[in-house]
Copies of this chain bind each other. A is one copy, B any other.
Amino acid sequence: MSIKQQLLVIGRSHFARDGYEGASLAKIATEAGIKKPSIYAHFNSKADLFLQVLHRAARVQQHSLRRYMLKHHHQTLEDKLHGLLEHMQELYRSDDTIKFVMRMSFFPPQELEDEVMPLIYGMLDTMENQLVRLFEHNLHKENLNCSVSATQAARAYMTCADGILLEVLYGQEHRSIQRLDATWPIYWNGIIGKEQHLS
């Protein structure tokens, strides 16, 4: 792996752990085995390194979602949705891309906010659209509650997914699994349930 790619990977982990302001180019360079000013042979600035990490992470994230959808297109809607939640939990464990994306979504560096947030909103919209399409394709196949729209189901799903992934941020994995086990049956029951409550 080239030094530049190493810097991107190491930078991602530091930004995920310490935040943009908290991350130090000196420490990133040391971990890559070079000196701090040598970073400037590959990146114009700290912001440049960060933004390249961000773009790469956004691409990885969207690619991962699309790949999951293709791989499991034969499954039932229920298995696909439930499996996606577990898939993201595993992804979180194996890689700090999700942690990085979440941190920069919730607390973007304020000086780069204008460049960060459009990417974040784009990712969220892409994911929502993909879910909406998924629900629309399955509304007639499975006996879904007809008073729940595809958009509503997708938004509620993303809300639950965020809540579950959040718990993994707290660092204790079993609490995240508890949340998944508690939330999923209630969500799914709310989607397919015959009785619909509207206040």
Contact = CB atoms under 8 A, between A and B. Distances in A.
A166 B166 CA distance: 9
A78 interface: yes
Interface residues of A, number: 57
23 contacts: A103-B106, A106-B166, A117-B171, A145-B189, A148-B185, A151-B182, A152-B182, A152-B185, A153-B186, A156-B187, A158-B163, A158-B179, A159-B182, A159-B183, A163-B166, A185-B199, A186-B191, A187-B187, A189-B190, A189-B193, A189-B195, A193-B193, A194-B195
A19 B19 contact: yes
Given A18-B110, A22-B21, A164-B159, A192 B197 contact: yes
A178 interface: yes
Interface of A: 17-19, 21-22, 78, 82, 102-103, 105-107, 110, 117, 120-121, 145, 148, 151-156, 158-164, 166-167, 169-171, 178-179, 181-199
A121 B188 CA distance: 28
Contact of A156 (B21, B120, B183): B183
Copies in the complex: 2
Contacts of A194: 193-195
A198 to B, nearest CB: 6
B195 A186 contact: no
B163 A105 contact: no
Contacts of A107: 19, 103, 107, 169
Nearest to A149: B182
A106 B92 CA distance: 14
A53 to B, nearest CB: 17
A129 to B, nearest CB: 14
Given A21-B21, A183-B160, A192 B195 contact: yes
Nearest to A107: B103
